Amino acid sequence: MPWVLHVDLDQFIAAVEVLRRPELAGLPVVVGGRGDPTERGVVSTASYEARAFGVRSGMPLRTALKKCPDAVFLPVDKPAYDEASAGVMDALRSLGTAVEVLGWDEAFVAVPDDVADEEAALAFAHAIQARVLERTALHCSVGIGDNKIRAKNATDLGKPRGTFTLTRDNWWTVVGDRPTDGIWGIGGKTAAKLARLGISTVRELGAYDEEALAAQLGPTMGPWYRRLARGVDTSPVDPTPWVPRSHGHEVTFQTDLTDPAEVEAEVRRLAEAATRDVVEDGRPAVRVRLKIRYVPFDTRTRSVTLPEPTSDATTIADAAAGLLERTDRTRAVRLVGVAAEMAPPA
């Protein structure tokens, strides 16, 4: 049986911060925004100690403060996390097998051909945990599967600092009775759509008629959700370096913006910042995307394809500002973001 591992760093951002500040070990740590919980901003990550109080990623910092008033709040430091992530991925590659990077803190790892049984796959997973810890002082959990989907779903079942194995043999026993959003790739909105079809568990989704799902949820996504529920996947671990599809910037305002001219000025400023990243990347922008969040928390997105690929700041800023005409200019705004999507690599 071929084996795939999914490696996921435990509380990655918080763990990096604790490495830099050992005195924070064992304390509830929350990282987000500028590190000031009285400001607007969201939680990027929380240590396990903070999660015990109900603090979760994506939660407003002010809510996190209410749930855990004794937490240590720290600002986001992206360069530090980039450096730590690179060290982790180098440690994984040092084992001499294919590594498919999924983000800062996770990757699929191909298992060597001579690893034939579950016991050997488990030993390789332990070797990965030891290598990452030795090289970076960070702990990770490892999901073991007979394909990428099962390995990915197995990881959370092994957290923290552990391993878990999911294969065709135990898939339904372990995940069959979980809610549909209890598996990778299905979120709350999709689970709600499935519930309207009378589908509430992974087992029910896996057994549902594929044509009916295609009719209800689309010809691509309907069958895809069914495959996720069945743990079906044939894709290999792809070591091709990850290439960003877009560059973007966003800002949350500490005071709501009510003047449309101020909103446009911020949009243009963010578009210029995104353009600088596009120029540095060396690929022109082909599409511009605007994100706008109204008071209290209503978020809308708009996008436009550019007439031709470009790295011109004025053209990209004009396109972003033009998208504002497709929004409600009378509402107070708490956040705006602009992203420039780039042409694929040659």
Q: Which fold has domain 246-342?
A: Dna Ligase; domain 1 (3.30.1490)
Which letter, b or e, does each residue of 115-132 get, where b requires 16 or more Cβ atoms within 10 Å of its Cβ?
beeeeebbebbeebbebb
> Of these residues, 106, 264, 266, 341, which one is catalytic?
106
- Res 116: pLDDT: 77
The structural domains of the chain, with segments of one domain joined by +, span: 13-78, 176-230, 246-342
pTM reported for the whole predicted model: 0.86
Q: Which of 62, 74, 123, 118 is nearest to 95 (CA)?
A: 123
Give the pLDDT of residue 115. Answer: 81
Contact 105, 88 (CB under 8 A): yes
Instruction: Say if CB 243 and CB 321 are below 8 A apart.
Output: no
Q: What is the pLDDT of residues 94-114, one digit of tens each?
A: 999 999 999 889 999 999 888
CATH of the domain spanning 13-78: 3.40.1170.60
Confidence band for 1, pLDDT divided at 50, 70 and 90: low
What is the homologous superfamily of the domain 176-230 according to CATH? 5' to 3' exonuclease, C-terminal subdomain (1.10.150.20)
Those residues with Cβ within 8 angstroms of residue 274's Cβ, 6 or more apart along the chain or in another chain: 247, 248, 249, 285, 316, 338, 339, 340
- pLDDT tens digits, 196-252: 999 999 999 999 999 999 999 999 999 999 999 999 999 999 999 888 899 999 999
Please say if 106 is a catalytic residue.
yes
